[in-house]
Structure formats: C-alpha cells, structure tokens
A and B are shown apart, each in its own frame.
Chain A
Amino acid sequence: MDILVFVCAAAMILCGALGVVTLRHPVHAALSLVLTLFGVAVLFVAQNAHFLAVAQVIVYAGAIVVLFLFVIMLLGVDRVEDLHAEPFKVQRPLAIVSGVALAGLLIAAVVASQHTNVAARGAGLPGVNPVRNDLHDGNIVALSKDLFSGHVLAFELTSVLLVIAVVATVLLARRSRGIDAAPTDGQAT
C-alpha cells in the first residue's frame, strides 16, 4: 500500500516538474506546478504529516500559484519568450549530459545506502522529537514546539526578512523619479 501511494505521488511530482520546464505556455507551466505541489502534499499525508499537507495545499497550491497566475495574466498570457537563441551551442547538450549524470549519481547513492538503517541510528539523537501520533493534533504540537523553542530566533528573524523583501520589491517596481535615469558614468565599467 505504502509503496503504491509513494509511486503515484512521485510520478505526479516528476510529471509536474517536467511540465513546468517543458511546457511553452506560462499558464500551463503554472498549472503543472500545482500538480507537483499536490504530489508533495500526498507524500506528507502518507507520512502522517497532516498539518504540513494542509499547509502545502493552502499556501503553495492555493495562494502562491494563484499569485503566479495573476502575474502571468497581468503581463499578458500570450507573451512567449524566445528560448531558441543560443550563444553557446554546446550548452544544451552539456546540460543534458550533466543532468543525466547527476541523476545517475543520486540513484547510485540511494541504492548504495538502502541497506543502512538510518532511522535506527538517528532516533537516539538528542535533536529528534518523534511525532506523537496518539494525539489528534500531535503534528501541530510538535511543529510549534520546534518553531518556538529550538528555532525561535530563525523563525522570528524571518519576519524581518519578509519586511525587507517587501522593501526590495517596492524599490524594484517603483517608477523612477527621474534622478536615477541620469546616465551613469564609467565609474565601474
């Protein structure tokens, strides 16, 4: 049963990811991203991480992809980038070769490691808090404990990062007030 769920979800994820890269139309690409994100959510459910699965669907598949679609619509659905211009002819074959090699490497590594019982060794470590499945919201408890004790500083500081991201975005999008349109000199050129 487990293996069946895993294979299906993994196939969803991979197909979605391939679609994002290969599909020409931006809307189609965004939609196949949804497929990937749903696949991940399924995997979360299979691991009993219900809260993460829900968050995944609501935040990623719901909010973020919708945002993507908005932006695509605003910029114009029919705009297609010409991706055929190739300054270096070798790039694409080289990328394919190295991609395949990397995939082979990953598979080899996983195959080589499959007989090592990782979980057994990891469980004894002090940093691991096994999720308590006897509580119906054990997920949330474990997650919040993690966020608000061990990782509280990183968690809190991420908020500053979000503010900065907003500042940077506003700056990028803001129309110039004429001053920065002045030609820059050759100071660093």
Chain B
Amino acid sequence: MTAAIDVAGLRKNFGQTRALDGLDLTVAAGEVHGFLGPNGAGKTTTIRILLGLLRAGGGTAVLLGGDPWRDATTLHRRLAYVPGDVTLWPNLSGGEIIDLLGRLRGGIDAKRKDELLERFELDPAKKSRAYSKGNRQKVALVAALASGAELLILDEPTSGLDPLMEAAFREAVEDLARNGTTVLLSSHILSEVEALCSRVTIIRAGRTVDSGALADLRHLTQTSVDAELAGPAPGLAGLAGVHGLDVVGNRVRCQVDSSALDAVLRQLTAAGVKSLVCQPPTLEELFLRHYGPAPAEPVGVAGKGHR
C-alpha cells in the first residue's frame, strides 16, 4: 500500500529553539494513524509543515505523493484539516463558515453537512463569537468531515468536546475509515487513539520514539493480572518476567511480560482460580513507558486500566 504521508528525518528550528529534530512519520493510505506526544513535542509543527504553512528545515516530507511546500495548493484539494485551536471569524455564523470552507475545497455535500450538524447538535445560525470552544471545534469538524477529502488531518480535534460529542466524533471517523479515508489523528486522549487507530507514532521532543501497529507495540509492555485464588501460589515469585508481585492472603496482583504470560497462568490454575481480571497493556502504559519519570516501573503508576 502506498503511503499517504511519508516523513523522514524532519527538522525545524524556530530561532534558537529546536522544534523538530529528525522526526519520522509514515501513514499508509487508508489507515487511521495515531500521532501521540506530550504538549510541545512537535505534533502541531509537523502538521503545519505537512500543510505547507511552515517550510521544513531539513529532512524529507512527502504528502499524497507531492511536496507539501511546493504543491500546497493542489494537494489541499485532497485533504481537510481541523486545527487544535479553532479560531473563527467572529461575525460570521457557523453555517456560513462551514459552507465557505467547503466551497474553498470545491463544494460541500449538503446532505452530509446536515447529517453532521444534527449528529454534533450544532446550531449553525449563531455568530461564531457566541460559540464555546467545543462548538468552534464542531464547526471545523463538520466542515472537514463533510468535505469528502481522501486525507483528514486532525490536530487534537476533541480537546473541547464533551464525552457524548467525542462518541459522535468517533462514529463519524469510523464511518469515513470504512470508506477508505486516511486519517492522521494527533491526540493525547489515549482512549480515543486506542479506539480509532490501527497504527500509532509516538514522538517526544521533536523525535519519533516509537512507531508501529498498536498490537505490536503492546508486546513491549506488560499485562496486569489480578486474581483471587483458592490457595497459595508459591511458584509465582520465582518466575522470570513477573514484576511488582503483591500477595495479600489469597489475592495476587502482578504485572507480567507477554512472554511469561503462559507460565503465570499455569501457576494460577494450579492453585485454583476463584476470580481473574487480566488487563491488556493500555496505550496509557505505553505512553508512560516513554515519557514517565521513572521508566523502570511505569506500570505501577498507570495501573488504572482503560479510561
């Protein structure tokens, strides 16, 4: 499959500050790709380079087979963008802005627009100065999702939305993904990325630190096991790949490397299992493994599971 976005060794300086320091990002056509990183890691800078708003300081960036700086205008026919901080023209209404942005891209699907307005419960007749942050974001989302573009670039698109609207957003993106739309989703809402994305790229301080299918990345972390047993399971303590073992009476809690999972389960069944909760590693744990203050014991910090 060809890549919709192919970025290698991307660099960008703002004066003395180094915003991007050799960033790599590959998004295959048709996939929903999570773009993760803490605040200030360089997500927005990367996106602005891909949009041809900033000129890359080094490295290569290929967008839909073209040069994002030189071919900006032609490439933009094929993509739609939702900025992280949506600012709108205060004296235009939301409906006017959605129509305008759609027409700039060469037309808007009126039926789809109405459907999205309804799904996001947005009143298009309000002047945009009267909108809250979430509603401003909805305006940009409706315009982008109704555009029919083959590539969506979404920069923290749900940071102002309530949980109901977040769900509406997920549904809409899933619909588009089923129809083959490529999506680059920058976010730090990990549950959203987990729900939507097949592959993720994790960056830190302008560099890619991890990239791959979510399933593959999970192997790098540990599954948390919480079991109530019929009797003691003395063999657990000696097993390689078991961490943070916590035994209170017949209750056992620990973190297990993927490689040791089989051996741990044998020990547990041998002791007799009354109840068992096994949680796959969450993205949050993955995330904290890269960014956490103490990388040696990240799981203990993040053991709350899904958000």
Partners in one complex: no
Interface of B with A (CB < 8 Å)?
none
